[in-house]
């Protein structure tokens, strides 16, 4: 997931470092992790685990995004959407970014180990490596399927949250991971469509540039259909009830309508709306899981 803001110029030193952590993306990742925590238990999450898991995952995610900004600083400087980043503008040096990322990552790992468990720490480290190294360094510049393969690391937050509370990652947690994994391509390709000139200038092999707009539009539609089916799995598995099912169907129908319109009558404005809705969609879908979880406990839905 990417921010749509491209004209900002962080003023203070603190805001410049904060920008490296991609706060909006981090917030959504942490939100999904917290939902995973609450879904893992019929009761309440211990406050030490809730705070420790939230802070630890947020710090480690921020460290990974800082490395991403460092690796892609030259690419970011060529893209209108990302040229404002302090790394792209040269306002923060390579050494400073490395030290900042190391401090964040180290603090995050310690927090997870001390306040949750070793499994959560190691899964979060693996997620860091998957995003900062496998996706950013290897996949993104090499294949137009980068966001599909690399999306696995971005889909991990619910599993991290589940592991933080229970110390293991059962099938229900992996269903949540699968939802984000399948959501990522239509979410990101909508962005790539209306920002295709940016990616062309940067020389990145994004799907609209390598296979064309029509091919990308078709794949957005196909992945959204798959996503609709995958989001029914929590109900089928018994993890959720009718509140979630109704929410998933309604939210998914709107997403499908956007995907169908993109396929049939594309415009950059429509792709931008689809991208923005996809973020709202995921947030509301996971919120519905949480509401359903406790509603079932209270009134047996």
| Spatial contact of 114 and 52, defined as CB atoms under 8 Å apart | yes
Which H helix or E strand runs over 222? helix 213-230
Is pTM beyond 0.85? Reply is: yes
Q: What pLDDT sits at residue 2?
A: 44
Whether 224 and 136 map to the same domain: the answer is no
Residue 33 sits in a domain of what CATH number? 1.10.357.140
pLDDT for 297 equals 63
Same structural domain, 250 and 300: yes
| Boundary (domain end) residue, out of 136, 169, 202 | 169
Distance from C-alpha of 197 to C-alpha of 48, rounded to nearest angstrom: 46
Domain count, the chain: 2
10-residue mean pLDDT profile of the chain (301 residues): values are 44 86 92 96 93 96 93 84 85 93 96 96 94 81 79 92 96 97 95 88 85 94 98 96 96 98 95 96 97 79 52
Q: Are residues 181 and 265 in the same domain?
A: yes
Q: How far, in Å, CA of 219 to CA of 83, rounded?
A: 28
Last residue of a domain, which of 148, 169, 190? 169
How high is the pLDDT of residue 276? 96
Neighbours of 142 (CB within 10 A): 12
Q: What is the pLDDT of residue 7?
A: 42
The pLDDT value recorded for residue 66 is 94
Last residue of a domain, one of 130, 154, 169: 169
Report the C-alpha gap between 160 and 32 in whole angstroms: 9
Domain that holds residue 2: 1-169
Question: Are 207 and 115 members of one domain?
Answer: no
> 159 and 36 in contact (C-beta within 8 Å)?
yes
- Of 161, 129, 134, nearest to 148 by C-alpha is 134
Mean pLDDT of the chain: 90
- Count other C-beta atoms under 10 Å from residue 182's C-beta: 22
Question: Which pLDDT value is given to residue 139?
Answer: 78
Instruction: Return d(Cα 53, Cα 47) in angstroms, integer.
Output: 10
87 half-sphere exposure, CB direction, 13 A CA radius: 27
pLDDT tens digits along 255-288: 999 999 999 999 999 999 999 999 999 999 999 9
Assess whether 80 and 129 both reside in one domain: yes
What pLDDT sits at residue 300? 53
The answer on 110 and 184 residing in a single domain is no
Helix (H) or strand (E) holding 198: helix 196-202
Do residues 53 and 92 share a domain? yes
Q: Are residues 245 and 227 in the same domain?
A: yes
What pLDDT is attached to residue 5?
A: 41
Cβ pair 33, 58 in contact under 8 A: no
End-to-end CA distance of the chain: 33
CB 87 within 8 A of CB 97: yes
Q: Which two tokens stand for residue 295?
A: 């509603």
Do 163 and 199 fall within a single domain? no
- Please name the residues in contact with 73: beta carbons below 8 A apart, sequence gap of 6 or more: 85, 87, 88, 90
Tokens 């959407």 correspond to what residue?
Answer: 81
Whole-angstrom distance, CA of residue 164 vs CA of residue 149: 25
């Amino acid at each position: 997931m990417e921010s749509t803001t491209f004209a900002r110029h962080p003023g203070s030193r603190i805001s410049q470092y904060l920008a490296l952590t991609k706060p909006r993306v981090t917030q959504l990742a942490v939100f999904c992790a917290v939902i995973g925590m609450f879904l893992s238990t019929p009761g309440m999450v211990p406050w030490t685990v809730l705070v420790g898991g939230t802070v630890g995952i947020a710090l480690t995610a921020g460290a990974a995004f800082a490395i991403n900004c460092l690796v892609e600083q030259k690419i970011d400087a060529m893209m209108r959407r990302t040229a404002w980043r302090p790394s792209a503008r040269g306002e923060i040096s390579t050494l400073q970014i490395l030290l900042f990322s190391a401090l964040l990552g180290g603090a995050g790992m310690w927090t997870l180990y001390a306040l949750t468990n070793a499994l959560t720490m190691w899964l979060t480290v693996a997620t860091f490596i998957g995003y900062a190294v496998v996706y950013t360094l290897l996949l993104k510049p090499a294949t137009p399927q980068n966001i599909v393969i690399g999306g696995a690391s971005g889909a991990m937050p619910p599993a991290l949250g589940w592991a933080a509370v229970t110390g293991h990652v059962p099938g229900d947690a992996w269903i949540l991971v699968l939802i984000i994994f399948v959501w990522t391509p239509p979410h990101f390709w909508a962005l790539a469509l209306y920002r295709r000139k940016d990616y062309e200038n940067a020389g990145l092999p994004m799907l609209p540039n390598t296979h064309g707009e029509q091919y990308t539009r078709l794949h957005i539609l196909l992945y959204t259909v798959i996503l609709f089916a995958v989001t029914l799995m929590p109900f089928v598995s018994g993890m959720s009830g009718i509140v979630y099912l109704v929410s998933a169907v309604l939210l998914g129908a709107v997403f499908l309508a956007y995907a169908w319109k993109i396929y049939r009558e594309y415009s950059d404005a429509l792709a931008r709306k689809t991208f923005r809705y996809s973020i709202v969609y995921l947030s509301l879908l996971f919120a519905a899981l949480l509401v359903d979880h406790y509603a079932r406990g209270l009134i047996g839905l």
